[in-house]
Structure 1
Amino acid sequence: MTRTTGGTPKARALGAELREARVSAGKSLRALAQELDTNHVRLMRYETGRSVPAPEVVAALLTALGVPEVERDRLVEMARDADAPNWLTADRAGVRQELTALIEFERTATRITNVATGLIPGLLQTSDYARAVMRGKPVGEVEKLVLMRLGRREILSARNGPQLTAIISENALREPIGGHEVMAEQLRKVAELATWPNISVRVVASGSTTWHPGHVGPFVVFEFPKAQPIVHLEHYRSSAFLYNPGLAQEYLDAITTLLSFAMDETDSLEFIAKCANEMEAFA
């Protein structure tokens, strides 16, 4: 049994986890399909999130791959509402699923626009800055997450990597997270990455007397070649993925508005360098 309403954020995250489980088991799509007496194209559609497998199908797949019961139960539960257009994560299992989703969206997107109002965007973070942001988590977990965050940046240097536009508020540049020395290094890194051909950094100065979408908070929009955009909203202990054409267009319009308020790329880099100099003066 298959639910064909695919392409949703949760369906694509589930598909990425199914693909990872199959690869870890060392099985090809054709071999697994033959074992389950099904078509490999159907399995491929599950793994890409274009079709949503029923929970019992997920259970059969994972059993054939020898996935442990706890992990199997987690993914079976994930499949129950994977065809829902929007997805809220608000528990520990959701944190892992959210990370899987972000990696999958970054891997398949053609364009990523990150509106950052309080922190430097994750794909541009240094290891020390990322550690400071993750303060409060267990040490072992922090180091693992830092390595994963730095590893995610590799997608930007891939041959067909996405275009990244980072719209960063002045406040995010001036908040010395981790200390002035750490922040100075972080700002220098942003300036360096902004010279890459597929990375654009635009700064929105503080002090605007006119309201703009940056006053509401951060968000990320992923755009894909053959699927509608996905919007990611991250909060303190929860996050949401939105998959609605009309809503996504509103966020794309918000990006256009923010870019009209932002400095151009040259002025943005000069401003970032100025902030870095100021941080170094305090270090």
Structure 2
Amino acid sequence: MAVGTGKGRDGEPQTPLEHFGEEVRLERVRLGIEREDLGKEAFCGYSLVAKIEAGKRVPSREFADACDRLFPHGHGRFSRLANFVLRCGFPEAFRQYVKLEEDAACIQRFHPMLVPGLLQTEEYARAIMATGRSRNPEEHVQARMARQRILEREHPPQLWVILEYAVLRRVIGGPEVMRGQLSRLLELETTPPHVMQIMPETVAAYHGCCSPFGLLSFDEGADVAHVDGYPRGYLLAGPEDVARARQSFELLKASALSPYESYRLIESVLKERYS
């Protein structure tokens, strides 16, 4: 998200996030609208409006819609800008996956190392970003949080996640962060239609699965697979590749603990290590 789209108030190149905030500020000031009034329209506070205008928070689609309602003659400009900003919050190679993920009816993910982005708490995501060399870590964190909104829909996609047991014990960000993250996993386990399974240490092999990967299924259209890798992940749409990924995930399901057993294991790790 480091690509500039213009110059900011300090003369430095703007990121898409900063550009959106500057456009909101300029339009608000031009119309003589106070931040409090914009906040009321967008159901948020003065502080959040200020952070969005400063390019420090990713705007929600609801915020963008409020701008389009409050600022006349916008013709949906801020909603279009917000969609662009959200997409730019991810590495370029990952943006197509995120676009497909938004339309998926079922999302299946396996990860042997970390909690997948769709389930990360903000603190866990921030701790992960802090270990890398991202030029805009806070923007990436906020984009990841925005991506999770698909789970808040009235009819969300089904999320089926399988994690290696080591993910529960690997301390990311400290005990308090892990406490919040494991609590988030327990919430998922008890929220239909989602499913969480843990791969126990006693399983010696993952049927050829050593990289994080997943599948996206749609109400219409063929499934696609996604594999995380270094330096970037990639999508697989070929029928044979997708079939192999589906078979691997089915074998992982059969080898992992049941959802009930997984819940009890997460709960025990939470109490024993992070309480």
TM-score range, shorter chain: 0.5 to 0.7
The answer on whether the counterparts of 1:106 and 1:162 sit within 8 Å (CA) in structure 2 is no
Query: May I ask how many residue pairs the two structures share in their alignment?
Result: 189
Corresponding residue SS for 2:143: helix
Q: Compute the displacement of 1:136 (Å).
A: 4.2
Q: Compute the displacement of 1:195 (Å).
A: 1.6
Match of 2:193 among 192, 198, 202: 198
Q: Compute the displacement of 1:96 (Å).
A: 3.3
Deviations for 1:139-169, whole angstroms, at most 9, x for unmatched residues?
7711111111111111012123211000111
Name the counterpart of 1:244.
238
Q: Compute the displacement of 1:113 (Å).
A: 0.3
Deviations for 1:194-244, whole angstroms, at most 9, x for unmatched residues?
2211211011101324x2237522101111122211111112321111111
Name the counterpart of 1:83.
none
Runs of 4+ off more than 4 Å: 136-140
Name the counterpart of 2:221.
227
Q: Output the amino acid matched with 1:219.
A: F
Q: Output the amino acid matched with 2:113.
A: G
* Cα distance in 1, alignment partners of residues 274 and 208 from structure 2: 27
Name the counterpart of 2:172.
177
Match of 1:115 among 92, 110, 134: 110
* 1:127 and 2:136 aligned: no
- Structure-to-structure mapping, 1:64-213, within 5 angstroms: 96-137=91-132, 141-209=136-204, 211-213=205-207
Q: TM-score, normalised by structure 1?
A: 0.62
Q: TM-score, normalised by structure 2?
A: 0.64
Question: Which residues of structure 1 form unaligned runs of 5+?
Answer: 1-23, 25-92
Corresponding residue SS for 1:160: coil
Q: Which has the higher contact order (CA 8 A, sep 6+)?
A: 1
Q: Output the amino acid matched with 1:118.
A: M
* Cα distance in 2, alignment partners of residues 98 and 162 from structure 1: 23
Name the counterpart of 1:253.
247
Identity of aligned residues (%): 28
Name the counterpart of 1:55.
none
Match of 1:270 among 257, 264, 268: 264
Q: Compute the displacement of 1:193 (Å).
A: 2.1
* Cα distance in 2, alignment partners of residues 225 and 278 from structure 1: 42
* Cα distance in 2, alignment partners of residues 183 and 214 from structure 1: 29
* Cα distance in 2, alignment partners of residues 267 and 206 from structure 1: 14
Q: Output the amino acid matched with 1:106.
A: E
- Shift of the 215–106 alpha-carbon distance from structure 1 to 2, 3 Å rule, reads closer
Name the counterpart of 2:73.
none
Corresponding residue SS for 2:250: helix
* Cα distance in 1, alignment partners of residues 208 and 180 from structure 2: 25
Q: Output the amino acid matched with 1:227.
A: G
The answer on whether the counterparts of 2:226 and 2:235 sit within 8 Å (CA) in structure 1 is yes
Corresponding residue SS for 2:241: helix
Corresponding residue SS for 1:213: coil
The answer on whether the counterparts of 1:176 and 1:279 sit within 8 Å (CA) in structure 2 is no
- Shift of the 254–138 alpha-carbon distance from structure 1 to 2, 3 Å rule, reads closer
* Cα distance in 2, alignment partners of residues 164 and 154 from structure 1: 13
* Cα distance in 2, alignment partners of residues 117 and 214 from structure 1: 12
Q: Output the amino acid matched with 1:230.
A: V
* Cα distance in 2, alignment partners of residues 230 and 189 from structure 1: 27
Cα RMSD for the two superposed structures: 2.3
Q: Output the amino acid matched with 1:246.
A: E
Corresponding residue SS for 2:91: helix
